[in-house]
Structure 1
Amino acid sequence: MSRVVVFDEFGGPDVMHVVEEPVVEPAAGEVRVRIEAFAVNPLDLMMRSGASPVTVPLPHARLGVEGTGVIDALGPETTGLEIGDPVILTAVPDATVRGSYAEYTTVPASRVVARPAGLGITEAAAIWVAYSTAYGALVEKAGMRPGDHVLITAASGGVGRAAIQIADQIGAVPIAVTRHTAKKDDLLAAGAAAVIATDQVDVVEAVRHHTGGTGADIVLDLVTGPGQQDLVKAARPGGTLVAAGFLDPRPTPFPRSTPLTIFSYQSFEHTLDAVVVKRMAAFLNAGVRLGALRPAIDTVFALDDVVEAHRHREKGLHTGGKIVVTV
């Protein structure tokens, strides 16, 4: 049997409960993964509360788009993997049916990559979503190069911190944006070349100062909303803005007559592309090996405490690191 987190109605963390279900055999081309740990992501909270942009069929819906574990069984015609291989989930098709909030799950073999050597289980559970999103937006979409000045909003969050580290690894210049001056030292320690605290300075003026008057080459907007207008002004003519987040629920006015290339980015654009996933995995492995990429962990909970893990996330008690649940 497998312990699985399910919910039968939309609502707060209390709607989740742990049940036991038979362990499913992997189909052709699939693997079964014995989950060791998974991370709590904003999408999980949206799905549980009924605010998800995708349909969540009730009752008995599952959660979880990120996790790490060990290959436990191979389906027919599955090649290139062995039982006992430690892996990271790169995508969970039908997360409402076989999400990672469980002791076991099955996924297509193409949706796992080898776990980087040197990563602990809790770090491995928390690395893929944030780092693949930041890498996909900055490298694959925006074409980030050494020397580029990269403006990163919501920099203290998981994707923001990943973007700082990835920019450093490439040789770009990450400029972090945060709403709170108190987070400045922490972001500098995390690798930001400069930090702009919007409770103290104007974004446009500060970016001009840190870029010698030219503006940012790339803007990674993880917030969107009305504040994006200032980010457009902070970018250099001919620069690139990638909107990859939705932390501000207010409408985002579409920039008109702007000399920027503007992209909207969602991570599944690349995490479902086997060729790009291979590049992502290679970059991730190199970064971990060099010590350049390392996810921050906030708090670790046990599976039986998954409700508390969601409460912790909703109350904003996390410090920017990921919340991880061990199984």
Structure 2
Amino acid sequence: MAKVVQFDAVGGPETLVLRDISVAEPGPGQVRIKVKGIGVNRAEALFRSGTYFEQPTFPATNGYEGAGIVDAVGPDVKDFAVGDAVSVAPAFSLNNYGFYADTALAPAAAVIRHPATLSFEEAAAVWMAYLTAYDALLGTAKTAKGEFVVIPAASSSVGIAAIQIANMLGAIPIALTRTSAKRTQIEAIGAPHVIATEEEDVVERLAAITEGRGVQVVFDPVGGPTFAKLLQAAAPRARFMLYGTIGEPTVVPHFPVFTKSLVITGALLFNTTFDAAKLKAGVEWVVKGLETGELKPVIAKTFPLEQIVEAQRYMESNEQFGKIVVVP
């Protein structure tokens, strides 16, 4: 029997229940993993609450990210063997697989051999954040050396990944955070510029940082009132990528968009992870950064699996700096 988190109705974190259930033998194209670390993501809270782009089928599982040891492989799986240390990329539907568990099936196409330098907790904190930022900054924006990259919600795991990736590309990250409370931490992970949006004039600060040239790339999960300020501070033909829904409704003023020929688009992790060739390229790029130390996940706090409700409540508090990890 395995310990698996399930929920029977949409709602708050309290709907998550830890149950003892049997986990099947892996079928074709599957591996079974003894889970040692689980990454907690906002997408999973949206799925749990019924506000995600797909609705849960009950009893529902949850969890896009896990790391652990392969303990069984499907009959046609050749790339992995029992005993391999692996982690999992979000390349599947949460209605088909879930890693809030101590044992879980995974599609072999989503399984990755992470660098040996990573602990299981660190490996569980990599793929959602770093492939989200990789997909947007490389795949969509084609960010170039020397460009200014604005990163709202900079203390999130994706924000931290974006700061590190921008630096790896030779771009210049400008981190946005609501207050100065996390400024020192954000600077410590590589942001040369930090703007506290509730304390500073965002447009004025961006003009000063860019010496009036404007910003070229914006990677934004927040939107809301600050979005219009970022449009005002943009350089001609700047690229804006929206990838989340954690802010207030976003109003887009028309004049800066068409007078500067701005591009506003969505950035979706699954454009990379659901494409085998793109996923392979993304994993190789991220692994290179992990091996050189240019990319390194930051773990905010760990919880035991029995405290999955508390882990999701902590995530929804927005108090964390980095990734929340659960350990079975």
Q: Which runs of 4+ in 1 moved over 4 A?
A: none
Matching residue of 2:313:
311
**Partner letter of residue 228 of structure 1?**
F
Q: Work out the CA distance in 2 between the residues paired with 1:222 and 1:125.
A: 22
CA–CA distance in 1 between the matches of 2:134 and 2:93?
24
Q: Which runs of 5+ in 1 are unaligned?
A: none
- Alpha-carbon separation, structure 1, partners of 2:28 and 2:68: 20
Aligned residue pair count: 325
Q: 5+ unaligned residues in a row in structure 2: which ranges?
A: none
Moved more, 45-54 or 173-182: 45-54
Give CA-to-partner distance per residue, 1:118-165, whole Å, 9 cap, x none.
Answer: 111111111111111011100111001221111111111111111001
Range with greater deviation from structure 2 (158-167 or 19-28): 19-28
- Show the counterpart of 2:103: 104
* C-alpha distance after superposition, 1:101-132 (max 9, x if no partner): 11222222111111122111111111111111
After superposition, what is the alpha-carbon deviation per residue over 1:31-72, rounded to whole angstroms, capped at 9, x for unaligned? Answer: 2222111111112212222322311122x1111011111222
Corresponding residue of 1:277: 279
Identical positions, percent? 38
Q: Match of 2:162, as an amino acid?
A: A
Match of 1:238 in 2: 237
1:61, 1:97 within 8 Å by CA — same for their partners in 2?
A: no
- Give the aligned residue type for 2:56: V
1:251 Cα deviation after fit: 4.0
Aligned partners of 2:243 and 2:268 also within 8 Å = yes
Deviation, structure 1 residue 97: 4.0
- Name the structure 2 match of 1:323: 324
RMSD of aligned alpha carbons = 1.7
- C-alpha distance in 1, partners of 2:184/2:225? 27
In structure 2, give the amino acid aligned to 1:165. Q
Alpha-carbon distance in structure 2 between the residues aligned to 1:53 and 1:173: 32
2:202 is matched with which residue?
203
1:254: Cα distance to partner? Answer: 6.9
SS in 1 for 2:126: helix
TM-score of the aligned structures, taking structure 1 as reference length: 0.94
TM-superposed CA distance for 1:229, in Å, is 1.5
1:173 alignment partner in structure 2? 172
**What amino acid is aligned across from residue 325 of structure 1 in structure 2?**
V
User: Deviations 1:67-109 (Å, cap 9, x if unpaired)?
Assistant: 1112221112222222222111112523234200112222221
Determine helix, strand or coil for the equivalent of 1:67. Answer: strand
Contact 1:66/1:92 (<8 A) preserved: no
Which residue in 1 is equivalent to 2:51? 51
C-alpha change, 1:315 and 1:242, in structure 2 (3 Å) is closer
Deviation readout 1:224-259 (Å, 9 max, x if unpaired)? 234312111211102211111211142443755241
